[in-house]
Structure 1
């Protein structure tokens, strides 16, 4: 798209991108695909957590999100605390200067309006608030596209999230629960829409890829310690999750089933190592996935999937593999219900290996029926995301939308 004065539109993308979380990067990839198809002349760059990775992987210029490189490390010394404080002030000016250079800013997916994992208010919530406030002040529309939200207990975090959402020019959500949560936090969501997660817009691996060994089960794991409200019980929650998951994997191995461990973030590696050490069998291997495409290929090769990370679930469901969710948040429950597998959920905070195995057996028993359901639900998700991108063009790129309306229509 090119504005009337002939200057290509400048689009910024924002978030914890390139930082090791495959789901976040998948959302970015989906939005870049939309921009390259619908607005190929747009000039795109990023303000993100891992600029070197984003530039190398996606070929767009990128700037580091935070001035202070130790932003997400715990500061205990006076010098580090002072540097963090100074960084908050510097980031206010850096963010505004970056926003000023753009015509549109997009926050692609991600759970940017939730605290279902441990989160400090002056980290990413503060950065998002700076972005949205700068957009409103400088009249650069900021779009929160297909984002996740959840009711937040921490008052400072809740306030920052609420004001970020209010200041955004466009909002859409990846599930109805996210919209309801934001409404409960005091945001008027009457004009906001719900669409499937952006990752459903990514290309699906072609059939006929490498087949896994007979009976392969992919088990997605996570460095799970509960939510932001569970900090006091974090160690207990993690131990219970890890013990239950390890017992489940050991039982599969005792039945002669090969198991492939999947992750979704660099921080999950210790969980993989703990399970490999505890089970100690050649039937258990670990995947080295660098993208959602890699995860989709892994899950497509499996007979069944049991996973906890939200985007591990999406990858498995998107390729049509029967999947059981270790659910730790409403977003997982909503996803499984949307895809017709709402009955196949197990609480991540209270993993009961015997009950999990029972649910797994039921999943396998109905695998053929579930595969047919997933084909239908994936087609519906694709159609809905086409509408999401059309709505985004109308909201953020009115010049292109008007030009398309004036163009001669092709004969049917």
Structure 2
């Protein structure tokens, strides 16, 4: 089937973003923000749309025409559990027709960043992975180009996930990854990645906020509602309770030492941990919570960065909380739930200031915090130099993208082979 936009010579370029966008995840929105800025700068006449999990929210925040990525999301759940299961099953079949009809209007479909090939959190094959594969297949049928831009990946254990991930990736016109670990993971799952490129996470391309004057000894603590991975479903509640209790313990230590603590999140689900921290301090240290704790909602990664601009150090769990802190050259400790966080910390030469989320040791965290604080003045210049390299690499990728997706006349061909390692 021929792409409908190619039937009209001279019509504006039509681009759709695809992914888990509009659901409140700030990291995903940060990647979208970067790609939006790129397209609006270089292709101001392009017609932009979004096929996503939260179309109403995307339209509200960005003013972009949006549609639900699946029939089920568009029509909503059933009246009861049985009816809901039947609607989900029907939706999978309906999407076989719905997705090609939807994508026939686009020239290019971009998946902007995000860990779309990751299984670091609980994930069911016939949810988003199925939708991702169906999107790539539908785009191939209708003649649209698909680009996976600086995405994350890890080796999936489940055969169904591996097939859906590699199947979607094979159908793309362009693929790049946010680190070599992700590219290697796709290769290990059977994808030929010899022509794929590696660049920094798209969020490093966001503009940084202006410096903020703030009281000394202010710490940002990024929390998340962590329940483990697919392999941990039978003890998900236990994992969440253990992690939350340790975060509460660490906050007690911080406020007892006189630090102001700014609690930050990356997803609406994380607010349960914020509430647990406030509840504990109100019970164990009356009058302290309102004086020493700060918690404000953020609707974008840029807004989160403006909050982080007013702190001295950052301790965070969510990947894009960690990344935002690194982007601002803030001395950072990562409580990591995936290799992606370890990789970005290593690249910033902060490998010693991390530990795994499942084995979180509060005593060790306190020691790491003290060590980071004492060495902060020497760490910051190294981070700033690395950030300058990231920006240069991302700028070079914009030229590569233009050549691969839009055949822009102003692209210098010698820039097509530039890669970031």
Q: Shorter-chain TM-score: what band?
A: over 0.9
Query: How big is the shift at 1:290?
Result: 1.3
Query: How big is the shift at 1:214?
Result: 2.0
Query: Which of residues 27, 38, 52 in structure 2 aligns to 1:34?
Result: 38
Pairs within 5 Å for 1:343-354: 343-354=352-363
Query: How big is the shift at 1:37?
Result: 1.1
Pairs within 5 Å for 1:113-124: 113-124=117-128
8 Å contact from structure 2 (residues 113, 150) kept in 1: yes
Secondary structure in structure 2 of the residue aligned to 1:68: helix
CA separation in 2, counterparts of 1:247 and 1:149? Answer: 32
8 Å contact from structure 1 (residues 240, 351) kept in 2: no
Structure 2 residue 381 is the aligned partner of structure 1 residue 379: no
CA separation in 1, counterparts of 2:331 and 2:26? Answer: 21
Structure 2 residue 200 is the aligned partner of structure 1 residue 196: yes
Root mean square deviation, CA, Å: 2.0
Query: Which residue number in structure 2 is paired with residue 245 of structure 1?
Result: 247
Query: How big is the shift at 1:240?
Result: 2.1
Query: How big is the shift at 1:43?
Result: 1.0
8 Å contact from structure 1 (residues 145, 173) kept in 2: yes
Pairs within 5 Å for 1:192-271: 192-207=196-211, 209=212, 211-271=213-273
The superposition leaves residues 358-399 of structure 1 with CA deviations (integer Å, 9 ceiling, x where unpaired) of 00111101101111111101100000101121111111011x
Instruction: Identify if the C-alpha distance between structure 1 residues 226 and 47 changes in structure 2 by more than 3 Å, giving closer, same or farther.
Output: same
Structure 2 portions without partners, runs of 5+: 283-288, 414-421
Pairs within 5 Å for 1:118-157: 118-157=122-161
8 Å contact from structure 1 (residues 125, 160) kept in 2: yes
Pairs within 5 Å for 1:45-56: 45-56=49-60
CA separation in 2, counterparts of 1:75 and 1:230? Answer: 30
The superposition leaves residues 98-145 of structure 1 with CA deviations (integer Å, 9 ceiling, x where unpaired) of 211111110001110111100111110010000111122222111000
Query: Which residue number in structure 1 is paired with residue 279 of structure 2?
Result: 277
Structure 1 portions without partners, runs of 5+: 407-412
Query: Which residue number in structure 2 is paired with residue 355 of structure 1?
Result: 364
8 Å contact from structure 2 (residues 147, 172) kept in 1: yes
Query: Which residue number in structure 2 is paired with residue 318 of structure 1?
Result: 327
Secondary structure in structure 1 of the residue aligned to 2:49: strand
Secondary structure in structure 1 of the residue aligned to 2:33: helix
Secondary structure in structure 2 of the residue aligned to 1:29: helix
CA separation in 2, counterparts of 1:28 and 1:285? Answer: 27
Query: How big is the shift at 1:88?
Result: 0.8
The superposition leaves residues 170-215 of structure 1 with CA deviations (integer Å, 9 ceiling, x where unpaired) of 11001111001111100000010010000111111122x3x33320
Secondary structure in structure 2 of the residue aligned to 1:69: helix
8 Å contact from structure 2 (residues 14, 46) kept in 1: yes
Pairs within 5 Å for 1:279-358: 279-280=281-282, 281-282=289-290, 283-358=292-367
CA separation in 2, counterparts of 1:87 and 1:202? Answer: 36
The superposition leaves residues 297-316 of structure 1 with CA deviations (integer Å, 9 ceiling, x where unpaired) of 11111010000001111111
User: TM-score, normalising length from structure 1?
Assistant: 0.93
8 Å contact from structure 1 (residues 204, 319) kept in 2: yes
8 Å contact from structure 1 (residues 72, 123) kept in 2: no
CA separation in 1, counterparts of 2:9 and 2:193? Answer: 34
CA separation in 2, counterparts of 1:344 and 1:47? Answer: 38
